[in-house]
């Protein structure tokens, strides 16, 4: 019992992830009720080819997210909480935008091939409607995971891990337009929202903490003198 209580106290913060169930219900409601009024399209979208093989990094997004949460939840509660706030409020803002600015896209090609990549793409197209696309949750959460990982000090100091995470973020984000799940505008909106969230959740608190630490040092120095 003592061991179980110790494990509970050590990992109970993972229960926060259950709140994403509320977001899922919200998104499910939007998927069933929102009728797009705005088509997300940029002339650049026509220059981006459809590459069905990029469905692999598109789906790898789920593994990347799971790794980020589990890893940070084990090694650093502080970074885990910051990642949770980034993604939870980011997704909530996206869903609010979908309700106020109902949008969709019409970029999906007709897939006639029957290879493994084509079959997977057909399944994704059938399960996921081309609505509620801007900002892109795929891009937003990929950025959130990368920011969360490189914010953890040991991860930050390892250039190999930083580069690997960055490349995964970029490839996953690129896959959203290469499999025609999103317009490039959806990604741009997600990047803009990510910048706001980064300032609010990472930059501002770190600046405040830095100033408080500096003030305490000055106070301790003046006392010792």
**59-111, pLDDT tens digit by residue?**
999 999 999 999 999 999 999 999 999 999 999 999 999 999 999 999 999 99
Among the listed ranges 81-85, 142-146, 221-225, which one has the minimum average pLDDT value? 221-225
Q: What is the pLDDT of residue 212?
A: 73
Task: Extract the runs of DSSP E, i.e. beta strands, from the chain.
Answer: 38-39, 103-104
- Burial 50-79, CB ≥16 within 10 A → b, else e: eebebbebbeebeebbeebbebbbeebeeb
Q: Would the pLDDT of 1 be above 90?
A: no
Q: What is the pLDDT of residue 12?
A: 84
Q: Would the pLDDT of 4 be above 60?
A: no
């Amino acid at each position: 019992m003592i061991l179980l209580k110790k494990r509970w106290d050590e990992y109970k913060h993972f229960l926060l992830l259950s709140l994403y169930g509320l977001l899922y219900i919200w998104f499910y409601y939007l998927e069933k009720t929102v009728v797009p009024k705005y088509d997300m399209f940029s002339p650049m979208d026509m220059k981006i080819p459809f590459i069905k093989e990029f469905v692999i990094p598109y789906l790898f997004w789920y593994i990347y997210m799971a790794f980020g949460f589990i890893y940070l939840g084990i090694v650093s509660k502080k970074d885990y909480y910051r990642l949770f706030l980034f993604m939870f409020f980011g997704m909530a803002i996206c869903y609010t935008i979908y309700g106020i600015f109902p949008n969709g896209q019409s970029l999906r090609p007709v897939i006639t091939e029957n290879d493994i990549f084509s079959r997977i793409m057909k399944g994704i197209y059938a399960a996921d409607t081309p609505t509620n696309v801007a900002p892109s949750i795929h891009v937003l959460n990929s950025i959130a995971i990368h920011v969360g990982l490189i914010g953890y000090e040991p991860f930050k100091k390892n250039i190999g891990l930083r580069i690997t995470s960055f490349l995964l973020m970029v490839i996953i984000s690129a896959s959203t337009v290469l499999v025609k799940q999103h317009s490039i505008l959806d990604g741009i909106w997600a990047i803009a929202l990510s910048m706001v969230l980064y300032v609010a959740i990472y930059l501002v608190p770190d600046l405040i903490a830095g100033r408080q630490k500096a003030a305490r040092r000055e106070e301790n120095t003046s006392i010792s003198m």
